[in-house]
Structure 1
Amino acid sequence: MTRWPALLAILLGLAQALPAAAGPALVETPMYEPDVAGGKLPPVAERVPQAPSVVDMAAEGKEPGKPGGEIAWMVARARDIRIMNTYAYARLVGYGTDFKLHPDLLASVDVDGEKVFTLHLRPGHRWSDGQPFTSEDFRFSWEDMELDKELSPYGPDTRLLVEGELPKVEYPDAQTVRFSWSRPNPEFLPALAGPAPLYIYAPAHYLKQFHKKYADAKALEALVKQAGMRNWVALFNLRSKLIDSANPDLPVLEPWVVTTKAPADRFVFVRNPYYHRVDSQGRQLPYLDRVIVNVVEGSLIPAKAGAGDSDLQQRGLRFDNISFLKAGQAAGDYKVRLWTTALGSEVALYPNLNCNDKDWRALNRDVRFRRALSLAINRDEINQVVFFGLARPSQNTVLPESPFYDAALATAWTQFDLAKANALLDEAGLTQRDSDGIRLMPNGRRLEIVVESNGERSLEADILQLIRDSWAKIGVALFTTQSQRDVFLQRIFSGDTVMSVWTGIDNALVTPTTVPSGLAPVDQNWLQYPKWGQYVQTRGTAGEKPDEPFAEQLMALYDEWRTTADKGRRDAIIRDMIRIQSDQVTSIGTVQGVLAPVVVKNRLHNVPEKGILSWDPGAHFGIYHPDTFWVDP
């Protein structure tokens, strides 16, 4: 058995034995001084865990902050306030800026062969309402939520299953929880660290009042009626979602707690008095007393950010807003910082290998056809015209920051070569053309590809226009159509779409702990093979079984990655999957490394000048610890 990491565990033992010497002397938060003096709150030494998580500000290249103040930012829909949970990024284990996993809410983790995970909680850790955070919260989540047939009619979260096997969950004491399987589960810790994490705990003391196993039947029925819910299950689900930030009464472990009930267009988050992190000077984090999230029309976010209405804004801003935002820096009292996006491709085309039209299905499944379309895209032109030469022509693949990046694979089938593209189309049997020079399909129809989009990004239209011009030179006509996002996705999932346009791989910053699900047909949302993904997700009850040789190979590699504890073999598997995706051109990328504008008010400190805007791993701002951001008085 290995202690992970061993050093932190040693420090934890010292902290328990010698609490006074375990960390910096604690300093009371100014916001709480009146409440502490009046007896409404215990002093900081009784609010934080006995061994708090100490953030080394110097090691993170940050300056110690000043507690107090507030910042505001904007979202386009009220439901988007849940992104606060992602930005705040308090997790049992989480990624650091090194993109490695580290204990966070947990003091440490013991890992035995990746089959047994023993989680050690911080003694004295409390929920935001001051109640103890203990193994009972894990027991309740597992036994009374995941295993409850009414709350979870389809069984526990699939991320807790290993080839269908449920974990054995034990609770040796109040600060210890153990999850174990008979086979390795390399997905477990990364799932806990995700931007939308796997929650294996819940505030039992609060939620028991909504659970029929614990609540008085009449009292529960009254609560159901009062909330206008149809039954106790609906009420429980409404009150229990930690990810949503929708219930101000729900205790949390995040740095800020929502205090506003929906519906509203201004949500106020207030600091958590029992938060588990402190800085290296003994000040309890977060530094900011409040975070305000304003709901505005999405199309207005760039203009309002440019007018200085937001202290920290990335959501709703795009590359094509950069010039406008930079022009407003002086008047708006902010700076525009340019972070690199972590998408595999800023814009990618997805031939639907599962489309219903048998003729288009046959063409889309012909790798010569996909390679020819890729070779007929002038990515240098796209980079210069749309991105001013600031991006990087590439396939839809992993980023150079990933240890699995291979420059040869990233540029395979991306050179602009019309002669080779024409030769591949001829080889695929598309030799006949009409009087306009457009090739004819085997059934005699013109080779007219309709690329469907949701119309949410104007740069997609700009890029498709450039692709239309170059594809015409190889006898391929490109047309576009737009539909609302839900309709757009449903058409793809059902097989009605021949080709679509979307962003590339969400998680292109692949690390050794990254579950390679984005490289295999395991999700309906992978638009090049949605029915294969649906088949995997529904365990064969819907969709289509992957039946192309490359897809079968990807699935075999993915299954092997999930069942081996050999880290070297896992790395080799990921490299093989990247190679297959590149060689098969399952999606057609354009450019990657596009810069995203981040608006930061001049009074806001500790926001990195440079960063990687990554969903997973990264949680956008999350890995940069927004609880350490602070403002001038």
Structure 2
Amino acid sequence: MTFFKSLVSALAVTAVSATAAFAGPPEQPRVLDFDAMGKTIGKRGGTLTTLMAKPKDVRWITVYGGARLVTWDQDYNLTPDILESIEVEGNRIFTLKLRKGHMWSDGQPFTTEDFRYWWEDVAQNDQLEPSGPPREMLVDGKLPKVTFIDELTVRYEWETVNPVFLTALAGASPTYIYMPAHFARQYHEKYADPAKITSLIESEKVQNWTSLHKRFTRQYRPENPDMPSLQPWTNSTKLPSERIIFKRNPNYHRVDSNGTQLPYLDEVILNMASSAIIAAKAGTGETDLQARYIRFDNYAFLKQGADKGGYNVLLWPSGRGSEMTLLPNLNTKDEGFRAAMADVRVRRALSMGIDRDEINEAIFFGLGRPQANSVLPDSPLFKQEYADAWAMRDLDKANALLDEAGFDKKDGEGFRIMPDGRPFEIIVETAGESSQETDILQLIADHWKQIAVKLFVKPSQRDILRGRVSNGETVMSTWQGLNRGLATAQMNPEELAPISPVQAQWPSYGLHYESKGSTGTAPNTPEIKRLAELYTSWRKAGDTAEQTKIWDEMLSIFTDQVYTIGVVSGGLQPVVVSNKLKNVPETAVWAFEPTLYFGQSMPDTYFMAE
């Protein structure tokens, strides 16, 4: 640890520059093969403008930028990115090698001290992280042995396999196991001048030094313009602002096939606008690259304005398991509805009562795929039986299942009555962000009338909806389908198991898992218990064959039990691209994971032509 003490002492007296110091790429940068990628060698310079609806949308630059310690390549294999190399032994020992000469955007060295600082001074600091390190760092409740071998090499060693470690590093919202120590120490009580900390707490109007540290060192949501970064562009604007400017990182680690440092673009500008008018603004050419806040039903309008607006409209296939999913809350506080939502006969009946073909034709112009919420045909885990599970419209069978479940009595209008005597009226709560979602729900409301069930839509706001779900106040809500519709066996099957309170179909079960049984509700059905067991088994799986077997059983249970009710997959995402912007692929998969929306196509290679 001697070299770390020297490094800490040296950096402690180094003034952090407010402007990025130019150092260039690392000695051994990541060289992109433009021919293999079907890309054209571009030129440096230019500004890309895009539209966002709220300041916290700055996080999408981190997603789109795509720089990660390791990334998913075009064939969905993990490959080093920020790292020069990684050695894996038995899926439990991971040796990470950094690139020599790699600098943060402010010109300070990116070394294993940045990993040590995060591991020892942040992740295991019970004031900064009361719950301890991220769960991806735990195997059977045990942390890894971490060895800082030298300035460029760090090793993580678990007693048994940890298949989530690398996938977490490659995530759209990645697990950050490093932090710019030279910058973050000024906000840490262990290193900073107490008087300065006290002064900053008062001026920033926060409670304590931990709030200060968290506010100024966020990496996923880069709101602090002084925070050094490894991404292709770094924020230069103090928030809040209606115009947020990201400038190119002069020390970025990738170069093109000719050795020219990326990114090509000098600036990326986020202009704030109401989400309701972003499609209209895109249609008049006010953005160079736009997909966020644009829906498929905007396509015809956008195409009409393409020539005059100087842009093209691409259609990228969605990578979600379903474009919209109904989420029956098995943990709702309402006892009668809890019993209804927990009854698989009811869930299956509601699913079979939907006319997915009509939704596909009316909303997606017949271009989607009616199916359950599951993996997509391009996933190596796909099976037709998962896609078809209880997704074929069958009114006779749906009505029979509801009768069998005790919903056989009807009121004077012919609608079903619950066993407790109340009308079987399902309120579906939404985040209120999509008119397309509302249109789909109106169609489903008409479909369910034919199985004598009423549906009412209750729009809300995203944060309010999440709170209501977690508190058991919703009976049913909506969200997108599986993020990992293109899953491989290596990818984490966490969406299929009750492991998180943000899962709207079983928030209390997820809380029970996350809290290790200290709160929440333990699953009480064999199938849900089995999903939790299988998830634990996947985390201990030693090879891809075993992981595949586990994924198969989880998908089988998840789709057969209809814990989520998918509608249509394979929707198309309009992508507005300025005619001047080059190297944007004609087609790519639009998904949060594993493609990071634009991230997998590497926007650092995009450039502006004359």
* Residues 219-234 of structure 1 mapped to structure 2, 5 A cutoff: 219-234=196-211
Structure 2 counterpart of 1:142, from 115, 119, 134? 119
Preserved CA contact (<8 Å) 1:509 1:614? no
* Residues 36-75 of structure 1 mapped to structure 2, 5 A cutoff: 47-75=24-52
Partner of 2:336: 359
Structure 1 counterpart of 2:381, from 395, 404, 417? 404
Partner of 2:88: 111
Partner of 1:616: 593
Greater Cα offset, 236-245 or 589-598: 236-245
* Residues 422-433 of structure 1 mapped to structure 2, 5 A cutoff: 422-433=399-410
1:101-157 CA-to-partner distances (Å, cap 9, x unmatched) read: 100011111111111110011111111111111111111111111122222222122
Structure 1 counterpart of 2:430, from 434, 443, 453? 453
Confirm whether residue 528 of structure 1 aligns to residue 505 of structure 2: yes
Partner of 1:381: 358
Partner of 2:253: 276
Code of the residue aligned with 1:629 in structure 2: it is Y
Preserved CA contact (<8 Å) 2:320 2:570? yes
Q: CA deviation at 1:96?
A: 1.6
Code of the residue aligned with 1:517 in structure 2: it is E
**Structure 1 residues 238 and 449, CA, compared in 2 at 3 Å: closer, same or farther?**
closer
SS in 1 for 2:270: strand
Code of the residue aligned with 1:404 in structure 2: it is L
Alignment partners' CA distance in 1, 2:293 and 2:587 = 19
Greater Cα offset, 240-249 or 182-191: 240-249
Preserved CA contact (<8 Å) 1:355 1:497? yes
Code of the residue aligned with 2:422 in structure 1: it is R
Alignment partners' CA distance in 1, 2:134 and 2:454 = 45
Number of positions where the alignment pairs a residue of Structure 1 with one of Structure 2:
591
Partner of 1:315: 292
Q: CA deviation at 1:189?
A: 0.3
Partner of 2:418: 441
Partner of 1:6: none
Structure 2 counterpart of 1:101, from 78, 87, 90? 78
Q: CA deviation at 1:98?
A: 1.6
Q: CA deviation at 1:490?
A: 2.0
| Identity across the alignment (%) | 48
Preserved CA contact (<8 Å) 1:521 1:555? yes
Q: CA deviation at 1:318?
A: 0.9
Preserved CA contact (<8 Å) 2:51 2:278? yes
Code of the residue aligned with 2:167 in structure 1: it is P
Preserved CA contact (<8 Å) 1:404 1:575? yes
Alignment partners' CA distance in 1, 2:446 and 2:227 = 55
SS in 2 for 1:531: helix
Confirm whether residue 516 of structure 1 aligns to residue 484 of structure 2: no
**Structure 1 residues 544 and 631, CA, compared in 2 at 3 Å: closer, same or farther?**
same
Confirm whether residue 371 of structure 1 aligns to residue 348 of structure 2: yes
Code of the residue aligned with 1:250 in structure 2: it is M
SS in 2 for 1:50: coil
Partner of 1:542: 519
Confirm whether residue 241 of structure 1 aligns to residue 221 of structure 2: no
Preserved CA contact (<8 Å) 2:490 2:544? no
RMSD: 1.5
Code of the residue aligned with 1:63 in structure 2: it is T
Alignment partners' CA distance in 2, 1:440 and 1:237 = 51
Preserved CA contact (<8 Å) 2:490 2:547? no
Code of the residue aligned with 2:373 in structure 1: it is N
Alignment partners' CA distance in 2, 1:472 and 1:233 = 54
1:348-383 CA-to-partner distances (Å, cap 9, x unmatched) read: 111111112222212211111111111111111111
SS in 1 for 2:35: coil
Code of the residue aligned with 1:55 in structure 2: it is L
Q: Normalized against structure 1, the TM-score is what?
A: 0.91
Alignment partners' CA distance in 1, 2:231 and 2:87 = 24
Preserved CA contact (<8 Å) 2:21 2:105? no
Structure 1 counterpart of 2:469, from 492, 503, 506? 492
Confirm whether residue 472 of structure 1 aligns to residue 472 of structure 2: no
Preserved CA contact (<8 Å) 1:278 1:284? yes
Greater Cα offset, 420-429 or 181-190: 420-429
Structure 2 counterpart of 1:574, from 530, 536, 551? 551
Alignment partners' CA distance in 2, 1:233 and 1:631 = 42
Gaps of 5+ in 2: 1-19
Confirm whether residue 390 of structure 1 aligns to residue 367 of structure 2: yes
* Residues 12-27 of structure 1 mapped to structure 2, 5 A cutoff: none
Partner of 2:391: 414
Q: Normalized against structure 2, the TM-score is what?
A: 0.94
SS in 2 for 1:169: strand
Confirm whether residue 174 of structure 1 aligns to residue 146 of structure 2: no
Greater Cα offset, 445-454 or 561-570: 445-454
Gaps of 5+ in 1: 1-39
Code of the residue aligned with 1:221 in structure 2: it is T
Q: CA deviation at 1:210?
A: 2.0
Q: CA deviation at 1:451?
A: 1.8
Q: CA deviation at 1:225?
A: 3.6
Q: CA deviation at 1:477?
A: 1.9
